Structure 1
Amino acid sequence: MMVKNASTPGKYFDGNGLYLRVEPNGTKFWVQRIVILGKRRELGLGSVTLVSLAEAREKALANRKMAREGGDPLAARREQQAVMTFEQASRHVHELHAPTWRNAKHRRDFISSLERYAFPFIGKLPASKVAAADVLRVLTPIWTEKPETARRVRQRIGTVLKWAVAQGWRQDNPADSITQALPKVGKSQVHRKSLPYTDIADCVAAIRQSRAMTSTKLALEFLVLTAARSGEVRDAVWDEIDLDNRLWVIPAARMKAKRAHRVPLSAPALTILNDARAFGDGSKVVFPGTRYGVPLSDMTLSKLVKELGFDADVHGFRTSFRTWVQEQTDYPREVAEAALAHAVGDAVEQAYARSDMLDRRRQMMDAWAEYLSHGRRDG
Structure 2
Amino acid sequence: MCWWVFWGVFILPPRARELTAIEIKRLAIAGLTAVGGVPGLCLQISPSGAKSWILRVLVRGRRREIGLGGYPDVSLAAAREHARSLRIRIRDGVDPVKERREERTRDRAKLDAMTFEKAARIWHASKRHEFRSEKHAAQVLSTLEAYAFPTIGSMTVEDVELKNVVGVLQPLWLAKTETASRLRGRMESVLTWASVSGFRSSHNPARWKGNLDAVLPKPGRVMNVKHHSALPVEEVPTFFSALHLRQGMAARALEFLVLTAARSGEVRGARWSEADLEQKIWTIPASRMKAGKEHRVPLAPTVMSLLSELPRFQGSEFIFAAARGGMLSDMSLSAVMRRMDVAAVPHGFRSTFRDWAAEYTDYSGEVAEMALAHSISNKVEAAYRRGDLLEKRRHMMNDWASFCGSA
TM over 0.5, yes or no?
yes
Q: 1:108 to 1:273 in 2, by over 3 A?
A: farther
Match 1:224 to one of 228, 243, 258 = 258
**1:101 corresponds to which letter in structure 2?**
F
The letter for the 2-side match of 1:222 is F
Contact 1:281 1:293 in 2 (8 A): no
User: Match of 1:250?
Assistant: 284
Write the distance in 1 (CA, Å) between the matches of 2:109 and 2:382: 57
In the alignment, the residues of structure 2 paired with residue 303 and residue 138 of structure 1 have an alpha-carbon distance, to the nearest angstrom, of 36
Q: For 1:33-72, what aligned pairs fall within 5 Å after superposition? A: none
What residue identity is the alignment partner of 2:370? A
Residues 104, 230 of structure 1: alpha-carbon distance in 2 compared, 3 angstrom cutoff: farther
Secondary structure at the aligned position of 1:370 is classed as helix
Task: Identify the residue that residue 195 of structure 1 maps to in structure 2.
Answer: 231
Report the Cα distance in structure 2 between the residues aligned to 1:154 and 1:307, rounded to whole angstroms.
Answer: 39
* CA distances 1:49-81 after superposition (whole Å, capped 9, x unpaired): xxxxxxxxxxxxxxxxxx9x9669985785367
Q: What residue is the counterpart of 2:198 in the other structure?
A: 168
1:87 aligned counterpart, secondary structure: helix
Bigger shift: 345-354 or 316-325?
345-354
Deviations 1:168-210 (A, max 9, x none): 2222322124333334544479462322112334555676788
Q: Identify the match of residue 151 of structure 2 among 121, 124, 148.
A: 121
The CA deviation string for residues 63-119 of structure 1, in whole angstroms up to 9 with x for no partner, is xxxx9x966998578536742x43332232122112233445543432232233333
| Change beyond 3 A, Cα 1:234–1:343 | same
Alignment-derived partner of residue 404 in structure 2: 372
Q: Where do residues 268-287 of structure 1 align in structure 2 (5 Å cutoff)?
A: 268-273=302-307, 278=312, 282-287=315-320
1:159 partnered with 2:159? no
Task: Normalising by structure 1, report the TM-score.
Answer: 0.63
Any idea what the Cα deviations from partners look like across 1:17-53, whole Å, max 9, x if unmatched?
A: xxxxxxxxxxxxxxxxxxxxxxxxxxxxxxxxxxxxx
Cα deviation for residue 154 of structure 1 reads: 0.5
Provide closer, same or farther for how the CA distance between residues 370 and 216 of structure 1 changes in structure 2, counting only shifts above 3 A.
same
Q: TM-score, normalised by structure 2?
A: 0.60
1:90 aligns with 120
How much is the aligned-residue C-alpha RMSD, in angstroms?
Answer: 4.1
Counterpart CA distance in 2 for 1:121 and 1:339 is: 43
Residue 250 (structure 1) shift: 2.2
The answer for unaligned runs of 5 or more in structure 1 is 1-66
Against the structure 1 CA distance between its residues 147 and 352, is the aligned structure 2 distance closer, same or farther, given a 3 Å change threshold? closer
Q: How does 1:1-379 map to 2 (within 5 A)?
A: 75=106, 79=110, 82-83=113-114, 85-104=115-134, 106-172=136-202, 173-176=204-207, 177-187=211-221, 190=225, 192-193=227-228, 194-201=230-237, 203-204=239-240, 214=248, 216-256=250-290, 259-273=293-307, 278=312, 282-287=315-320, 296-297=329-330, 301=333, 305=337, 309-342=341-374, 356-375=388-407
How far does residue 227 in structure 1 lie from its aligned partner after superposition? 0.8
The offset of 1:315, in angstroms, is: 3.3
Matching residue's letter, 1:323: D
Code of the residue aligned with 1:192 in structure 2: it is H
Q: Which deviates more from structure 2 when the two are superposed, residues 339-348 or residues 309-318?
A: 339-348
* Structure 2: 5+ residue stretches without partners: 1-97
Q: Which whole-Å CA distance do the structure 2 matches of 1:295 and 1:90 have between them?
A: 32
Q: How many residues align?
A: 303
Decide whether the 8 Å contact of 1:266 with 1:366 is kept in 2.
Answer: yes
Q: Share of identical aligned residues, percent? A: 42
The residue type paired with residue 228 of structure 1 is A
Change beyond 3 A, Cα 1:116–1:276: farther
Cα distance in 2 for partners of 1:117, 1:307 equals 36
> Whole-Å Cα distance in 2 between the matches of residues 204 and 179 of structure 1?
47
Q: 1:179 to 1:331 in 2, by over 3 A?
A: closer
Listed one character per residue, the Cα deviations across residues 219-260 of structure 1 (whole Å, up to 9, x for unaligned) are 333221101233433443332111232210123454455553
Do 2:286 and 2:294's aligned partners in 1 also have CA atoms closer than 8 Å? yes
Tell me which amino acid in the other structure corresponds to 2:276: D
Q: 3-state DSSP class of the match of 1:248?
A: strand
Assess if the C-alpha contact under 8 Å between 1:127 and 1:164 holds in 2: yes
Residue in structure 2 matched with residue 64 of structure 1 by the alignment: none
- CA distance in structure 1 between the partners assigned to 2:185 and 2:380 by the alignment: 32
In 1, Cα distance between the equivalents of 2:290 and 2:379?
17
